Structure 1
C-alpha cells in the first residue's frame, strides 16, 4: 500500500509476543536467537524489540534448519553463507547487465 505522497508504507513490525505467536517460538527462544546473532530485531526508543516480516521469514528458515538437525552455531553460518551468496548473485546480475549494456554501446559505436 502506498500513501498519497507515493512513499511505501513500512513493512509490518511486531512486538516480541506477537512474533512468538506468529513464529511458534517462545519469547525466551527469540531472545536466545538474538544473542546468537540469528535475528536482529529493531528497537523502539524505549528499547522494546520490533520484528519485521523479513524477521518472520528468517525465523521460518531457522525452523527448517533446526528440523534438518543443525545446531545454532551451524544455523548462523548457513544464514551468513546464504546472505553472501544472495549478495554475490545480485552483484553478478548487475555486472552482467553492465556488460550487456557496454557490448550494445560498443556495437552501436562501431557501426
Structure 2
C-alpha cells in the first residue's frame, strides 16, 4: 500500500475503536500520551488513518504481552528510528548505484578516447577492434 494511502485520515474514533477492538476512551488516552496522533477534521473530529490503525494494533499486541505504556513508547520509538534508517540506507544504496554507473561511463569514455587516433580521424570499426582486442569486453 502506498505511503500516501496509509496516512490518509479515514476513520472516526468509533470506527477506529471497532477496528482495533479498543474502547474509544482508550484511544483518547493513547492520544493524550502521544502514542497515536490522529488528524482532525474541520469540525475537530478525530480521523484515524490506516497507519494509525496498524499502530494501535501493535500497541494492543504489546500491552497484551504485558508491556507497560512506557515500554510501548520505547519500542515504537525504536521501530520508527529503524524504519527511518532503512529509508536512509535505501537512498544511499540508490546513490551508490548511480555513482557506479557514472564511474563506468567515465571509464568507458576514457578507454574510447585513449584508443581514438590523435589526428581526429576516427574509424569506429578500428576503435571497436582495438577495444575488443584489448580485453574483449566493454
TM-score where L is the length of structure 1: 0.85
**Equivalent residues of 1:36, 1:73 under 8 A apart:** no
Higher relative contact order (CA 8 A, sep 6+): 1
**Equivalent residues of 2:9, 2:47 under 8 A apart:** no
Whole-angstrom distance in 1 between the partners of 2:65 and 2:26: 18
Counterpart pick for 2:104 among 86, 102, 107: 107
State the Cα RMSD in Å: 1.6
Any residues of structure 2 matched to 1:1-111 within 5 Å, and which? 11=8, 13-111=10-108
Listed one character per residue, the Cα deviations across residues 27-63 of structure 1 (whole Å, up to 9, x for unaligned) are 1100000011110001112211111111111111111
Q: Which structure has greater strand proportion?
A: 1
Whole-angstrom distance in 2 between the partners of 1:45 and 1:100: 45
**Equivalent residues of 2:36, 2:55 under 8 A apart:** yes
**Equivalent residues of 2:31, 2:37 under 8 A apart:** yes
Q: SS state of the match for residue 48, structure 2?
A: strand
Count of aligned positions: 103
Q: Structure 2 unaligned runs (5+)?
A: 109-138
How far did 1:12 drift?
A: 5.7
